[in-house]
Amino acid sequence: MGRIYNFSAGPAALPEPVLKDVQDELLEWQGTGASVMELSHRGKPFLGMAERAEQDLRDLLTIPDNYKVLFLQGGATAQFSAVPLNLAHLGQSADYALTGHWSKKAIVDAKRIIGISTVCDTSSDGFTAVPSVDEWDLSDDAAYLHITPNETIAGVEFDCLPDVSVPIVADLSSTILSRQIDISRYGIIYAGAQKNIGPAGLTIVIVRDDLLGQFPESAPRLMDYSVMADSDSMSNTPPTFAWYLAGKVFGWLKEQGGLSAIEALNKAKAERLYSYIDDSDGYYTNPVMPNVRSRMNVPFILHDSAFDAEFLSLSHETGLHALKGHRSVGGMRASIYNAMSMEGVEALIDFMDSFKKTH
């Protein structure tokens, strides 16, 4: 069997040249006679690689010098707790935008640590819209404002930020590195790696350095961003293989022309797929308001759910995998992260079109 087109929401497709490169050096890495997985994270080869990976990420995102970049474990979910623990000293309560499944989860975890005020709540719309940031009910004295700019499950993405004086914290798990962003507008950015960065097991945190250093004594030390910043993310053993592989993905992204080039491609891929869906005379529909449709995760529903199972089995046979929508939304979802080519999107559209003609 050849390589499939993998539309998984995460762990997601990785760039093939990266996988081949990793395959080539799996047994012997950089003249060490061992796999990178078998080497100490304190040794010179690994430290050199780790530094390069961080620099490449800094270059790609133009991360200012007053931000630390952390390579952590625990997934984005661990950051749901780490963020309030690290920032609770800034206020009694934090503002959260409730725009989908993942922001809801972030709120549940944060509530155990800090008071929460919801600045917008789109649950009654089934998480298909996001009110303009001018309409958000922002508090004057929030410790921080938490947003989820891309809700992976409903396929909702927004790129507007309100003008606030408090730190903005963003869960960028499913949109990081897919488009250019101005890091200086954020206090903290975090992202699980398994969509646009590398394999599961690595979590990137980018944190402005003035926010560090006020962590509660009683809380788990490994969740203290300043402990991780002071130890170059090596207070304990880091996820070495995932870090190495992420470094390869950063290198690949640079070769593609960086974020402006990948953003243009992502925009073109998403526009192509949404236009096909919108022009399908109602055979396929996407329920999300057009101004907040995600470039990364495209849910779509067949006009008759009785065809869902057949759509999934035939698409799978055609080499188009992982198109089943999240159970809370139903239907289908095509995740088209950086590693998904335009050819993959065209192959999906060809399949959708032939399915439409025959069902």
Ligand X SMILES: Cc1ncc(COP(=O)(O)O)c(C=O)c1O
DSSP for 32-92, written as a single string: SSS-GGGS-TTSHHHHHHHHHHHHHHHHHHT--TTEEEEEESSHHHHHHHHHHHHHGGG-S
Residue of 6, 99, 128, 152 that binds ligand X (CB under 6 A) = 152
Could you tell me whether strands 284-285 and 203-208 are parallel, antiparallel, or unpaired per DSSP bridges? Answer: unpaired
| Catalytic residue, candidates 68, 95, 102, 324 | 102
59 is catalytic: no
Q: Which single residue is written with the structure tokens 């725009």?
A: 99
Q: Which single residue is written with the structure tokens 């990364």?
A: 296
Residues in 204-233 at the binding interface with ligand X, rule: CB under 6 A: none
| Catalytic residue, candidates 195, 248, 269, 324 | 195
- Asked if 171 interacts with ligand X (CB under 6 A), we say yes
User: What is the rounded distance in angstroms from the CA atom of residue 150 to the CA atom of residue 147?
Assistant: 9
Residues in 1-30 at the binding interface with ligand X, rule: CB under 6 A: 10
- Asked if 76 interacts with ligand X (CB under 6 A), we say yes
Could you tell me whether strands 188-192 and 168-171 are parallel, antiparallel, or unpaired per DSSP bridges? Answer: parallel
- Radius of gyration of the chain measured on its C-alpha atoms: 21
- Asked if 102 interacts with ligand X (CB under 6 A), we say yes
Total of residues contacting ligand X (CB under 6 A) = 11
Smaller CB distance to ligand X: residue 113 or 352? 113
User: What is the rounded distance in angstroms from the CA atom of residue 30 to the CA atom of residue 45?
Assistant: 8
What the block records as the tokens of 13 is 């497709």
The CB-of-289 to ligand X minimum distance in angstroms stands at: 19
**Best CA proximity match to 174, nearest among 56, 335, 4:** 335
Smaller CB distance to ligand X: residue 171 or 224? 171
Q: Are 110 and 83 in contact (CB under 8 A)?
A: yes
252 is catalytic: no
The CB-of-206 to ligand X minimum distance in angstroms stands at: 15
The CB-of-297 to ligand X minimum distance in angstroms stands at: 8
Residue of 35, 77, 318, 341 that binds ligand X (CB under 6 A) = 77
Residues in 270-309 at the binding interface with ligand X, rule: CB under 6 A: none
| Catalytic residue, candidates 29, 68, 95, 171 | 171
| Beta-bridge mates of residue 168 | 145
Q: Are 87 and 169 in contact (CB under 8 A)?
A: yes
Q: Are 299 and 311 in contact (CB under 8 A)?
A: no
Q: Binding segment for ligand X among 23-31, 62-70, 168-176, 288-296 (CB under 6 A)?
A: 168-176
171 is catalytic: yes
Which residues are the active-site residues?
Answer: 102, 171, 195
Query: Interface with ligand X by CB under 6 A: which residues?
Result: 10, 75-77, 102, 148, 152, 171, 173-174, 192
